[in-house]
Amino acid sequence: MRVGFIGLGSQGGPMARRIVEGGFETTLWARRAASLEPYADTAAKTAGSPAELAAASDLVCLCVVGDDDVREVLYGDNGVLAGLASGSVIAIHSTVHPDTCAEIADKAAAQGVSVIDAPVSGGGPAVEEGKLLVMIGGDEEVAERCRPVFATYADPIVHLGPLGSGQVTKILNNLLFTANLGSALSTLDLGESLGIPRVRLAEVLNGGSATSKALGSIAIFGGTVEGLAPIAGALLQKDVRHAASIAASASAPEGSVFTAADTALESMEHPR
**Which residues are catalytically annotated?**
170
User: d(Cα 196, Cα 265) in Å, to the nearest integer?
Assistant: 24
**DSSP state, residue 9:** S
Q: Find out whether 134 and 108 touch, Cβ atoms under 8 Å.
A: no
User: d(Cα 188, Cα 194) in Å, to the nearest integer?
Assistant: 10
Q: Find out whether 10 and 124 touch, Cβ atoms under 8 Å.
A: yes
Residue 249 makes CB contacts below 8 A (sequence gap 6+) with: none
User: d(Cα 263, Cα 220) in Å, to the nearest integer?
Assistant: 19
HSE (CB half, 13 Å, CA atoms) of 66?
10
CA distances from 250 to 168, 203, 253, 266 (A): 12, 39, 9, 26
CA distances from 155 to 22, 59, 145, 224 (A): 14, 19, 16, 31
Q: Is 144 helix (H, G, I), strand (E, B) or coil?
A: helix
**DSSP state, residue 255:** -
Cα angle value 96/99/103 (rounded, 5°): 105
